[in-house]
Amino acid sequence: MALSRGLRCCQRVFSWIPVLIITSVALWSYYAYVFELCLFTLTNTFEKVAYLLVFHVCFVMFSWTYWRSIFTPAASPCKKFQLSYSDKQRYEMEERPDAQKQILVEIAKKLPIFTRAQSGAIRFCDRCQVLKPDRCHHCSVCETCVLKMDHHCPWVNNCVGFSNYKFFLLFLSYSMLYCVFIAATVFQYFLKFWVGDLPNGPAKFHVLFLMFVALMFFVSLMFLFGYHCWLVAKNRSTLEAFSAPVFVSGPDRNGFNVGIRRNLQQVFGENRRLWFIPVFTSQGNGHYFPLKNRSSESHNPLLANEDMWEESDDGSEEGSLESESN
């Protein structure tokens, strides 16, 4: 017991190593660009001021989105998806698998659940003891079920899901912008150092490596960002791209695809002025998502009033996911 607890503690410590690497590279790039390039190498005052202003805007947005991706808690299913004490007793006392499945089917009728396991059964997490909402998956690293889980990202040491997917996308986009700006403004001085037009010194090493590192990160980020843009346009998560969600009618990769405009609004919200700012604006609460084929929704009488299931046991509303996940 003590050994496993110690191993988990070590795992949590080591899981921060990728974040420390990214943070170290970002801090080094700040020093190299601001001090070695702008303050020690540039001689034109206007150019120096312009570079510093734009650089700090890019750096602040990059840092802000990275911070939100790391420290926004992964949202988990609300209490309505947990088994009640009586249901849990019934489920655990029942030894027949078919009877257990039927118990879950009866409970799921009260919830907006349309996806199924590969076997056709209601998706149930034995470790969290919850019925999984649509697009929810259990993360073995975070040891919890995550709403609209996309993947567990070691570079942010967090699950990317409903509560922080927008922040993750913005982090990728501002990281690319940060790399492009550095590469574009450093390029002429990179050439001057390379051919020997500028004197050798500490700045040469930093400028040369700034160029290489910026281009290297930009290329890798470009492919990752492009892939996630495609996922958003199709309204799929990374997990759903590899394994199509299963509905009553069978597997369907486009089951949640409701058109590009609505797909974008689900992630970024309806207010376009807030799309590029790392504040939570995603639609819904992560427990229910509109389906491409709404005919299956008509079989669930709960969706005649979609707000019914969001109420807590005492009748008061639980509020939006933004308050639940923060």
Report, as residue numbers or ranges, the catalytic residues: 153
Instruction: Tell me how long the chain is.
Output: 326
| Among 265, 263, 289, residue whose Cα is nearest residue 275 | 265
Strand pairing report for 158-160 and 151-153 = antiparallel
**Token pair 């912008």 is at which residue?**
177
Q: What are φ and ψ of residue 22, in 5° steps?
A: -60, -45
Q: What are φ and ψ of residue 153, in 5° steps?
A: -105, 115
Angle between helices 45-71 and 165-195 (to 10 degrees): 150
> In b/e form, how buried is each residue of 5-38, taking b as 16+ CB within 10 angstroms?
eeeeeeeeeeeeeebeeeeeeeeebeebbbebbb
Type and span of the H or E element at 139: strand 137-139
Other Cβ atoms within 10 Å of 318 Cβ, number: 16
CA atoms within 13 A on the CB side of 59: 17
> Residue 135: helix, strand or coil by DSSP?
coil
Amino acid at 282: S
Compute the distance between CA of residue 145 and CA of residue 73 in angstroms, rounded to an integer: 12
Burial of 125 (0-12, 13-18, 19+ CB in 10 A): middle
> Residue 64: helix, strand or coil by DSSP?
helix
Type and span of the H or E element at 26: helix 17-31
